[in-house]
């Protein structure tokens, strides 16, 4: 599939594909965003668990925070809208580090970056493309995987996105959360998040949050919350039913042929050869 075939719902900005729901005017104006010292940014490549971490943060008792819609969703009025939130803002985004507004870096706002195994991410994004009217319709997994490997998908190359953030992984204001570790031990990772945000939460509260934000609970709750436009966490849809599909670890094995796995692994090895974070995925590949 060529870019021309996708251009009704996607557009290119600085060489990267964005949804037309993110206007060029807004993307061009992001550097005029006025960050606050206590802002928290929830960042990931699409389909890596942003909704999950957002639910966790929203369930922290007495946190006095407001989850806003994504910074890159909408038109230029988004920057004015974000000023209207009086409580501490938690702002989701799928932007790479390079595209993040300058003010956020200058003020060293807290950033939680979520990473998921790229093979599972690719499968999840494939289903998103198929189900989401705001994304191009793609018939086959084979066709989608070729686009994913080339970085011709919304928000660009998974590899480039991860590497742009990895360069800053040791910064005090950045916390990296792995989707697979969150699955394995939610309470431990929720504790990491609350400590990072400077919030004092008891172990029993943390266990309660872990239960309330389990995949089955979140999926059950989407029906009643689906119509709340203020609860838009993904810059690609406000329909929460599209967001929760399986949430599985290792589901990629049901999609990749042995040849596709070999091609993927070769590219992964080449692109991520200097990456420390890459070692994390060896258990899941």
* 28 part of a folded domain: no
CATH code: domain of residue 184: 3.40.50.300
Tell whether 233 is covered by a domain.
yes
Give tens-digit pLDDT for 4-51: 456 689 999 999 999 999 999 999 999 999 999 999 999 999 999 998
In the predicted model, is pLDDT for residue 255 greater than 90?
A: yes
* Domain-embedded: residue 3: no
Show the 3-state SS of 35-62: CCCCCEEEEECCCCCHHHHHHHHHCCCC
**CA pair distance 67, 259, nearest whole angstrom:** 42
State residue 229's pLDDT score: 58
CA–CA distance, 186 with 180 (Å, rounded to integer) = 10
Q: Which of 33, 186, 168 is nearest to 113 (CA)?
A: 168
Whether the pLDDT of residue 167 is over 60: the answer is yes
Please, what is the end-to-end C-alpha distance for the chain in angstroms?
Answer: 27
Token readout for 88 is 């501490």
φ, ψ (nearest 5 deg) of residue 9: -120, -10
Q: What is the mean pLDDT of the segment spanning 77-106? A: 96
The answer to whether 51 is a known catalytic residue is: no
Reported confidence tier of residue 3, pLDDT bands at 50, 70, 90: very low
Provide the domain limits for residue 208: 34-284
The catalytic residue among 94, 127, 142, 274 is: 94
Across 216-226, b (16+ Cβ under 10 Å) vs e yields eebbeebeeee
Q: pLDDT-derived band of residue 226, with 50, 70 and 90 as boundaries?
A: low
| Count of the separate structural domains present in the chain | 1
**Residue 118 falls within a domain, yes or no?**
yes
Cα dihedral 209, 230, 63, 103 sign:
positive
Q: At which residue do the structure tokens 């807004």 appear?
A: 26
């Amino acid at each position: 599939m060529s870019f021309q075939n996708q251009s009704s719902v996607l557009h290119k900005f600085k060489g990267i594909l964005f949804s037309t729901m993110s206007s060029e005017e807004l993307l061009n104006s992001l550097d005029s965003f006025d960050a606050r010292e206590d802002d928290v940014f929830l960042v990931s490549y699409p389909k890596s668990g942003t909704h999950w971490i957002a639910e966790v943060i929203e369930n922290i008792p007495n946190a006095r925070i407001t989850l806003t819609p994504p910074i890159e969703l909408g038109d230029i009025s988004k920057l004015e809208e974000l000023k209207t939130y009086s409580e501490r803002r938690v702002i989701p985004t799928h932007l790479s580090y390079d595209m993040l507004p300058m003010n956020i870096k200058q003020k060293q706002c807290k950033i939680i970056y979520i990473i998921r195994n790229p093979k599972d991410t690719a499968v999840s994004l494939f289903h998103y493309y198929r189900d989401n009217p705001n994304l191009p319709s793609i018939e086959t997994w084979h066709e989608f995987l070729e686009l994913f490997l080339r970085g011709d998908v919304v928000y660009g190359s998974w590899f480039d996105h991860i590497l742009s953030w990895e360069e800053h992984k040791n910064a005090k204001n950045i916390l990296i959360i792995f989707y697979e570790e969150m699955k394995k031990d939610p309470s431990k990772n929720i504790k990491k998040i609350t400590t990072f945000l400077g919030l004092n939460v008891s172990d029993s509260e943390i266990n309660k949050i872990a239960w309330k934000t389990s995949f089955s609970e979140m999926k059950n709750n989407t029906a009643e919350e689906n119509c709340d436009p203020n609860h838009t966490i993904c810059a690609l849809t406000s329909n929460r039913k599209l967001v929760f599909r399986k949430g599985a670890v290792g589901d990629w094995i049901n999609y990749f042929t042995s040849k596709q796995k070999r091609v993927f692994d070769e590219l992964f090895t080449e692109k991520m050869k200097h990456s420390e974070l890459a070692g994390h995925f060896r258990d899941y590949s």
